[in-house]
Amino acid sequence: MTLTKLALLVTLFDLAFLQPKIYAQSSTSFPDGIGLEIGGGQNDFYWRGNGPQGPFGWEPMNYTDSYLTPNARLTYHATILDGFALLPFTGYNEFGGTANISGNHPQYSFQAFELGTALLYEFSHISVGLGFKEKLGLSARYRDAQANINEDFTKEFSGWYDDAGIRCSYYVSPITFSLEGWFSVSNMAGLSSPITIQENHFRFLAGYTF
């Protein structure tokens, strides 16, 4: 069982057994309930190692030029202890990376479904925490306008991949503004591959809690 699935089970237990007791005894100023977050992020994509160089034979390199992509997800804020909360979420994530090679900008682009949770510590109008998520690859493309390449390689990246992250939020109920950083835990090329493919994703999200 992954950390994400364990955290979601803890959240379900919290909703069924702990929440009624907590709210019967006290109240919290942090917005609770179902929410929607939308935003965008900067992506860094790293392709390292020796051996077969990618699905189409291209050399490994770092794709860290400016590359902004959209994100959207549903959230649920659940208080588990005084000052602590879980924030399970699920939604759409676009990531990848682009490089700048003498004015040419080859690009890897991925679309994914993601499922995760964050453990938050809350004080005043601020929350900070750590998160873990899994993403399922829905589509993947490589584009190189100079070489006239636009190739689909979804088949090579159709599995689940794990990320760990950090989150910092400022809220004025019911609005939340958040910064997140997510870092690959698993190798997108596979455990047995001689190359390593990972990504970093830095996001700004604006949220509304219903």
Question: What confidence tens digit (pLDDT) does each residue in 118-152 have?
Answer: 999 999 899 999 999 999 989 999 888 888 889 89
Mean pLDDT within 166-182: 95
Range of weakest confidence among 78-82, 130-134, 181-185, 194-198: 194-198
Token pair of 33, please? 């309930």
Phi-psi region of 131 (alpha: psi -120 to 50; beta: other; left: phi over 0): beta
Question: What Cα–Cα distance (Å) separates residue 119 from each residue in 11, 31, 60, 80, 169?
Answer: 11, 15, 35, 10, 12
Cβ burial of 51 (10 Å; 0-12, 13-18, 19+) is exposed
Greater pLDDT, 135 or 62: 135
Q: Where are the domains of the chain?
A: 3-209
d(CA 116, CA 64): 25
What predicted TM-score, i.e. pTM, was given to this entire model? Answer: 0.81
Q: Encoding tokens for residue 106?
A: 């080859």
- Could you tell me which of 86, 37, 89 has the C-alpha nearest to residue 203? 37
Q: What is the structure's pLDDT at 12?
A: 54
Q: Which residues contact 180 (CB under 8 A, 6 or more apart)?
A: 41, 131, 165, 166, 167, 168, 201, 202, 203, 205
141: helix, strand or coil: strand
Closest to 112 measured CA to CA, from 85, 129, 91, 128? 91
Domain 3-209 has what CATH class? mainly beta
Residue 24's pLDDT is what? 44
